[in-house]
């Protein structure tokens, strides 16, 4: 039978929840006098065997939202939470119970004001396990797409948003992020259970460790850094309370000190205290590793509404993602966002008034600033605006790897290259789409029929980034908009297409030119990009694999020229970051830039 990770993970959560339900809130000593040995009923809530609680209800509500929308629609998720809490949807018996304070307050907040960004609590007191207990569907969704169209950054941002609907403090979100990395490792990697969990946690600690702002809250999870050591911690040193750090520790400890789904779950719930949630958190991961078939059949037989739950697990997200349609929808929404906002329309007009065209061959006049020390050089796997966002408050310039013949390239029909991404997330398209630029920049390129393109550059100041630069961009609140200065310039187009022939008589393509000829063309163009960014007083310059995607320029050559001018203009900027976006394994472009700048980034 084909493995169904949704069934494995979700039923693991539900079974763990139901196993712990009868002894919820009982301390360890009380549970030890009548330990859980199988699926039993009554107890704390006086319910039949196989009854599950808020952990499963919220997990299933989130799962159902993903099934229907094939993505995260946060308002829809919260609407379903409201139906659960107030109307008894997604429950075993038509009413909700065992609701944590943080969750109750968040759902109530949303019901009152409808704001998905502010409903979840942000204080240190909101570090209960109420988001971790229901995060499995989000982790599965992101794990399936991670390495295809979601980067780690994309995935963690989505996980944090889903957590933040009810628990929006960083510590609670980190727990969910670590759970995602473990989920991904269990699905994608081989090896023993502890080896996979350790690999996932290593990835998670590495990810969160990059940002100094994570350090204080990340430190609460230090016992999970080395599972071979943590496995030797005695039971009396494991806490199983509703505090998110205690819960994830207890769940992982139960996993790594047992060798079956059954043994793991019995150990988890017999720890006492928040038994249903520790059971659910451990059960999700145990289900992924051991599989649905390893769950005791007599436990499954008692699960309330089992057939309905299992029907929800019949889900395949990958087949339903049409990225061109998604990109078109995002851009249409960006257009509506701009046209409906007086502030954004005024910003576009201001950029249009102040932007300028520097023609090929026209000197870029200084002065170029001289700073006290060399710039920092970074090679990252980020998208362009994702990189720029980190420099809010700095005068930041980004390079638009432009189409020479139309503003925004193929943004109108859903293309997915760097320029299109910029236009979906900012006001750039409407800044470039002017009569003057059509006349002086785009039409001359169209009439020239030269695939090498020319070195014309457009400088557009204070373009506003208004969406998150991720695979499925979302609107930013006005207070979070940030300006970037954009240099629009086209790279040589080396595609072997009928309309890209350099010499029709010989059939010579630009790609057939000797490397030294292409080097000369790129050398002049890249030098002028540095000069323009420096002459405008930018503190940060975001560059990348210029022309190395759709236009097929050789990345090692492009990186080598960028290195040359990074060294020449190293005192003109505080930071030069090469945002060479890639998903999954390192791309050829990313490796080329890492190799070219290794000595500069390590110094």
- Look over the chain and give the mean of its residue pLDDT values, rounded to a whole number: 94
Question: Which of 401, 503, 410 lies closest to 449, judged by CA?
Answer: 503
Return the minimum-mean-pLDDT range out of 131-135, 494-498, 561-565.
Answer: 494-498
Over 50: is that where the pLDDT of 594 sits? yes
Backbone angles phi and psi of 484, in degrees to 5: -135, 150
What's the burial of 564, exposed, middle or buried (CB within 10 Å: 0-12/13-18/19+)? middle
Question: To the nearest whole percent, how much of the chain has pLDDT over 90?
Answer: 85
555 vs 169: CA distance, rounded Å = 41
Question: CB-based contacts of 196: which residues, under 8 Å, 6+ apart?
Answer: 182, 185, 186, 189, 190, 289
Instruction: Give pLDDT, residue 317.
Output: 52
Give the pLDDT confidence of 323-358 residue by residue, as tens digits: 788 899 999 999 999 999 999 999 999 999 999 999
Greater confidence, 168 or 320? 168
Instruction: Give pLDDT, residue 197.
Output: 98
Over 80: is that where the pLDDT of 500 sits? no
Over 80: is that where the pLDDT of 501 sits? no
Give the pLDDT confidence of 35-85 residue by residue, as tens digits: 999 999 999 999 999 999 999 999 999 999 999 888 899 999 999 999 999
Over 60: is that where the pLDDT of 439 sits? yes
CB atoms within 10 A of CB 360: 14
Give the pLDDT confidence of 213-260 residue by residue, as tens digits: 999 999 999 999 999 999 999 999 999 999 999 999 999 999 999 999
Give the pLDDT confidence of 138-190 residue by residue, as tens digits: 999 999 988 677 888 889 999 999 999 999 999 999 999 999 999 999 999 99
In the numeric block, the tokens 């006001």 are attached to 427
Give the chain's domains with CATH numbers: 5-33+46-320 (1.10.4080.10), 323-602 (3.40.220.10)
62 vs 74: CA distance, rounded Å = 10
Instruction: Give pLDDT, residue 358.
Output: 97
Instruction: Give pLDDT, residue 241.
Output: 97
Confidence of residue 428 (pLDDT cuts 50, 70, 90): very high
Instruction: Give pLDDT, residue 448.
Output: 86
Return the minimum-mean-pLDDT range out of 76-85, 416-425, 499-508.
Answer: 499-508
Question: CB-based contacts of 91: which residues, under 8 Å, 6+ apart?
Answer: 57, 84, 97
Give the pLDDT confidence of 246-301 residue by residue, as tens digits: 999 999 999 999 999 999 999 999 999 999 999 999 999 999 999 999 999 999 99
The H or E element that residue 162 is part of is helix 152-164
What's the predicted TM-score (pTM) here?
A: 0.73
Give the pLDDT confidence of 179-222 residue by residue, as tens digits: 999 999 999 999 999 999 999 999 999 999 988 999 999 999 99
Over 80: is that where the pLDDT of 555 sits? yes
In the numeric block, the tokens 């209960």 are attached to 128
Q: What is the DSSP string of 195-259?
A: HHHHHHHHHHHHHHHT-GGGHHHHGGGGGGS-HHHHTTS-GGG---SSBHHHHHHHHHHHHHT-S
Question: Which of 540, 548, 184, 603 lies closest to 390, judged by CA?
Answer: 540
Question: To the nearest whole percent, how much of the chain has pLDDT over 70?
Answer: 97
Instruction: Give pLDDT, residue 383.
Output: 94
**Sign of dihedral through CA atoms 45, 50, 51, 54?**
positive
**Sign of dihedral through CA atoms 211, 212, 213, 219?**
positive
Confidence of residue 1 (pLDDT cuts 50, 70, 90): very low
């Amino acid at each position: 039978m084909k493995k169904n990770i949704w069934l494995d993970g979700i039923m693991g959560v539900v079974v763990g929840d139901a196993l712990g339900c009868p002894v919820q809130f009982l301390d360890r000593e009380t549970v030890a006098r009548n330990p859980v040995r199988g699926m039993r009923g009554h107890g704390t809530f006086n319910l039949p065997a196989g009854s599950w609680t808020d952990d499963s209800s919220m997990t299933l509500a989130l799962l159902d939202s993903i099934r229907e929308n094939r993505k995260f629609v946060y308002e829809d998720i919260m609407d379903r939470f409201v139906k659960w809490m107030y109307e008894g949807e997604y429950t075993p018996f038509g009413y909700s119970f065992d609701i944590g304070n943080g969750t109750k307050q968040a759902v109530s907040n949303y019901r009152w004001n409808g704001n998905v960004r502010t409903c979840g609590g942000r204080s240190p007191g909101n570090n209960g396990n109420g988001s971790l207990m229901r995060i499995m569907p989000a982790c599965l969704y992101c794990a399936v797409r991670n390495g295809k169209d979601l980067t780690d950054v994309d995935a963690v941002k989505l996980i944090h948003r889903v957590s933040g609907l009810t628990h929006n403090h960083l510590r609670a979100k980190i727990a969910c992020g670590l759970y995602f990395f473990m989920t991904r490792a269990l699905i994608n990697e081989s090896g023993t259970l502890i080896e996979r969990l350790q690999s996932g946690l290593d990835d998670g600690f590495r990810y969160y460790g990059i940002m100094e702002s994570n350090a204080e809250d990340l430190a609460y999870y230090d016992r999970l850094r080395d599972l071979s050591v943590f496995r030797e911690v005695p039971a009396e040193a494991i806490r199983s309370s509703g505090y998110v750090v205690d819960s994830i520790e207890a769940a992982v400890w139960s996993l790594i000190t047992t060798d079956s789904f059954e043994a793991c779950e019995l150990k988890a719930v017999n720890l006492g205290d928040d038994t249903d949630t520790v059971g659910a958190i451990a059960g999700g991961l145990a289900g992924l590793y051991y599989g649905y078939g390893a769950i005791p059949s007599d436990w499954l037989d008692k699960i309330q509404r089992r057939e309905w739950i299992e029907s929800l697990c019949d889900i395949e997200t990958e087949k339903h993602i049409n990225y061109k349609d998604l990109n078109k929808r995002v851009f249409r929404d960006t257009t509506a966002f701009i046209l409906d906002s007086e502030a954004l329309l005024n910003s576009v007009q201001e950029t249009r008034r102040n932007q300028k065209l520097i023609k090929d061959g026209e000197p870029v006049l200084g002065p170029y600033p001289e700073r006290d020390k060399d710039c920092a050089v970074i090679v990252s796997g980020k998208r362009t605006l994702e990189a720029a966002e980190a420099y809010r408050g700095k005068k930041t310039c980004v390079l638009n790897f432009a189409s020479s013949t139309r503003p925004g390239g193929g943004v109108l029909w859903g293309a997915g290259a760097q320029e299109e991404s910029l236009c979906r997330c900012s006001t750039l398209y409407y800044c470039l789409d002017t009569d003057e630029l059509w006349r002086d920049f785009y039409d001359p390129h169209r009439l020239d029929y030269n695939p090498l393109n020319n070195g014309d550059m457009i400088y557009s100041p204070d373009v506003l980034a208004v969406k998150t630069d991720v695979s499925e961009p979302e609107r930013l609140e006005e207070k979070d908009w940030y300006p970037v200065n954009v240099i629009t310039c086209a790279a040589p187009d080396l595609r072997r297409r009928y309309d890209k022939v350099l010499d029709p008589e010989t059939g010579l393509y630009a790609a057939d030119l000797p490397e030294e000829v292409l080097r000369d063309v790129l050398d002049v163009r890249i030098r002028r990009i540095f000069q323009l960014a420096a002459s405008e007083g930018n503190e940060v310059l975001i560059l990348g694999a210029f022309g190395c995607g759709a236009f097929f320029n050789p990345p090692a050559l492009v990186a080598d020229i960028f290195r040359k001018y990074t060294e020449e203009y190293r005192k003109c900027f505080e930071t030069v970051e090469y945002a060479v976006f890639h998903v999954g394994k390192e791309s050829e472009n990313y490796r080329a830039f890492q190799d070219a700048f290794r000595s500069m980034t390590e110094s």
